[in-house]
Amino acid sequence: MIILVILKSNLKLILIVTDKKGYYTTLEAAKMLDVSVRTVQLWVEDGKLQGWKTAGGHRRIAVHSVENMLEGQQAAPLKKSSKKPLILIVEDNPTVMKLYQAAIESWDLPVQVISVENGFLGLMEVGRSRPNLIITDIFMPGMDGLQMIHALYKEVNLDKVKIVVISGLSQEEIQYRGGIPQGIPFYKKPVDLNKLKEIVQQTIANQKQDQ
């Protein structure tokens, strides 16, 4: 199989030559969709991609399922084509989520904001949109914030992604759950919104330096 990906402005053109075997491996699908292997696995588990496992435990992704997702990607503008930094909020409490969103919007800063309600959806969104800043809670249903962070460290290059943890848990409770990786700042709920604004402004400054 040959995969040729051409990025031009906010249009992604993909030429695929396949052997008509009817499926792709997770690695092949990840390259075609421009996401990590883990994101492809999560999309299969969530039903966004049609896949199965062989008797030997290898995952296979249906060709038509990948092609349908590619068509959807091409129909919609790629988020990362914008020059605005992308902020991902991972928070299961809708009141807190809306508070963060409203605060960031009120600052009238050149950013985009996406919100999801658990670590599983956070992982998928990181694989799809590659945010510049992730603001995450810890205690959430399903996959919590710490599980998401540890999974990201295994699967994604985080050199240009800043992660901030905001939680009501104590340091002892956090350590019991596995601890926050070194270098990731932690803030106790309720967070000082002025501090949050500083973090967002620094993200904007870092993004401008990388351009």
Report in angstroms the alpha-carbon separations of 210 from 8, 22, 115, 207.
19, 40, 24, 5
Q: Measure Cα distances from 83 to 80, 119, 204 in Å.
A: 7, 26, 10
pLDDT at 73: 56
Structure tokens at 77: 């503008």
Do residues 43 and 26 lie in contact, with contact meaning Cβ atoms separated by under 8 Å? no
User: Is residue 130 predicted with pLDDT exceeding 90?
Assistant: no
pLDDT surpasses 50 at 211: yes
What phi and psi, each to the nearest 5 degrees, are found at residue 74?
-75, -30
For residue range 16-50, list pLDDT tens digits in order: 444 446 888 888 888 777 777 888 888 888 888 88
Report the predicted TM-score, pTM, of the whole model to 2 decimal places: 0.69
Residues 51, 40: Cα–Cα separation, whole Å: 10
Name all domains of the chain by residue range, CATH numbers in brackets. Answer: 2-75 (1.10.1660.10), 82-210 (3.40.50.2300)
pLDDT digit string, tens, across residues 133-143: 999 999 998 88
| DSSP per-residue letters across 38-70 | HHHHHHHHTTSS-EEE-TTS-EEEEHHHHHHHH
> Which pLDDT does position 14 carry in this prediction?
45
Per-residue model confidence (pLDDT) at position 18 = 46
Q: In what helix (H) or strand (E) does residue 133 lie, and over which residues does it extend?
A: strand 133-136
Q: What is the average per-residue pLDDT within 68-75?
A: 66
Give the pLDDT band (50/70/90) at residue 8: very low
pLDDT at 4: 46
